Structure 1
């Protein structure tokens, strides 16, 4: 047997800390799931721009009671159908002039309006300020969509969680209920609610909420059935956790991305459906206005006064596009498999 070789004590020396050796240092930051999703979302410039646009619209719409230049329902027939007029701007289309009988005339002088009277987006056929009505109409459209989506969120998530968690004959029965509701056209539901209730925000909100939660419920149910077989859920059941605690502590956090994304797609659908109902005359009743009623009023004079339809149409289009772009950005941000 060979003799043991003993190394002297000075064979080992501590490393110099000034060299800052970081061969085992974690390079990536320690982020939570939501922090990582926000980091990924910030890299999507189009989604951030869409989010800023939506914030601006929400602030303007829900702050319309304070920033609106005129009463949106105040009727002034003498100032009816005036074109847009921006103070200090002498550009055709925004200088208060119209083409009549082949010549351009000052519509404000012809109507006897004072020198200081101006309407940024013109007036409608009753002399009501278009800018104020668009602001209030946007608020009504957003309110209907947000309330309907909140009901959709509450019913759809609860229904889908319970159905997916229980499974078996309970899940089979609950899915048949969803199929029955989905087979009923939403327009029929609206008409029935209008017969029971008076036309307005309540009937439209209930109609949208009644028919729109089924998609959310199906998505949540499918993901719940997948998640309930995961190890952390089985471990929680083994430790004696209640079903309610497992749902709120383990399932809902892992379903948050789907809930947020589906909500962002539901809101523009509700806005468009409300605008459609108001456009065909079974939505918001006068004198209140939504984007749909403004489009309906504007299309009557579109050939001669196109601005009365263009402005609410532009607002509705921008809101719809911004919501869809923002929802696409959220979908990419919450998907870890998406390439950055």
Structure 2
């Protein structure tokens, strides 16, 4: 007798839905580009973000002050010379217009200076140190921007060409760099002063002469590594030109190196300009830079320390902020460097 066919009850199975339940087991995250992923890592670095905010504020204040007439008024007034800092509403020694003379603290804002307020004090010619410090900061940042421009043009182009061509071309280009590195920047500056007048153009040319060399060497080293990668070889086999490969394949992969090195070039350029101005071969009077203000302030540092402390603190903040931000960018763009 044949076995009877067994039938399953109707409620043994339930119809499936439209498949939305499968999303519960899906592992997914929003897609991030290289720059977005680097920015995400940079935001986790509190020191780098604080430095970035400080630099943005310095840029805004320094260049925004050029639009304020009172901040551009640096005319001399011998009746208001060597006055200490005085800020309205603050009665703290060092910020209330008092100074120590003969062992006693006296109010320096008397007579013609009674109705004046110099937040950073005044110099030996009665000029507002706040206005001159903002002007000097603006000069230093302009020098930094110019150094960045030459880094991104001459340095990147030179490095890519040297690394891409290789062979004899690379050898000759690297020997030129070695010859230029053997000449100190100070010697270049002194030689330029024999041809040009001391000032910003001479400093810019001196920086343009050598500032791009480190960038060129780093870009060349990365180009030598990248040009043998599979994606570059594939592009060459498809007949793409060298220029197209440089812009489409090499530059995007060199972004991290370029940005990181640029952030370390800027403080070097600022310090170089301040050093030249400090020794008297930089920005000439009556113009001011941070180096000039520090040089003038150190002459009377024993009696009027604020005249040197103010520009020195601003210069130090600039240098430290750029270096900390550079370290943060290096960790963000190249996480392996932290290991």
Question: Please, what TM-score do these two structures have when normalized by structure 2?
Answer: 0.93
Q: Equivalent residue of 2:60, what SS?
A: helix
Kindly tell me: are residues 293 and 14 of structure 1, through their superposed partners in 2, closer, same or farther at Cα, counting changes over 3 Å?
farther
* Other-structure match for 1:93: 94
Kindly tell me: are residues 70 and 260 of structure 1, through their superposed partners in 2, closer, same or farther at Cα, counting changes over 3 Å?
closer
Kindly tell me: are residues 217 and 13 of structure 1, through their superposed partners in 2, closer, same or farther at Cα, counting changes over 3 Å?
farther
Q: Which moved more, 1:115-124 or 1:172-181?
A: 115-124
Q: Equivalent residue of 1:27, what SS?
A: coil
Please say if residues 72 and 133 of structure 1, whose CA atoms lie closer than 8 Å, have aligned partners that are also in contact.
Answer: no
Q: Equivalent residue of 1:57, what SS?
A: helix
Asked if 1:22 corresponds to 2:23, the answer is yes
Please, which runs of 5 or more residues in structure 1 have no aligned partner? 1-6
Q: Which moved more, 1:272-281 or 1:141-150?
A: 141-150
* Other-structure match for 1:63: 64
* Other-structure match for 1:77: 78
How do 1:125-274 residues align onto structure 2 when only pairs under 5 Å count? Answer: 125-274=124-273
Alpha carbon RMSD of aligned pairs, Å?
2.1
* Other-structure match for 1:314: 313
* Other-structure match for 1:36: 37
Q: Distance in 2 between matches of 1:306 and 1:98?
A: 11
Q: Equivalent residue of 1:104, what SS?
A: strand
Q: Distance in 1 between matches of 2:338 and 2:199?
A: 45
Please, which runs of 5 or more residues in structure 2 have no aligned partner? 1-7
Please say if residues 68 and 132 of structure 1, whose CA atoms lie closer than 8 Å, have aligned partners that are also in contact.
Answer: no
* Aligned-pair CA distance for 1:20: 2.8
Kindly tell me: are residues 336 and 13 of structure 1, through their superposed partners in 2, closer, same or farther at Cα, counting changes over 3 Å?
farther
* Aligned-pair CA distance for 1:145: 1.6
Q: Distance in 2 between matches of 1:173 and 1:54?
A: 39
Q: Equivalent residue of 2:171, what SS?
A: helix
Please say if residues 147 and 265 of structure 2, whose CA atoms lie closer than 8 Å, have aligned partners that are also in contact.
Answer: no
Please say if residues 73 and 287 of structure 1, whose CA atoms lie closer than 8 Å, have aligned partners that are also in contact.
Answer: no
* Aligned-pair CA distance for 1:18: 7.6
Kindly tell me: are residues 302 and 246 of structure 1, through their superposed partners in 2, closer, same or farther at Cα, counting changes over 3 Å?
same
Q: Distance in 1 between matches of 2:303 and 2:199?
A: 30
* Other-structure match for 1:4: none
Q: Which moved more, 1:310-319 or 1:70-79?
A: 70-79
* Other-structure match for 1:3: none
* Other-structure match for 1:49: 50
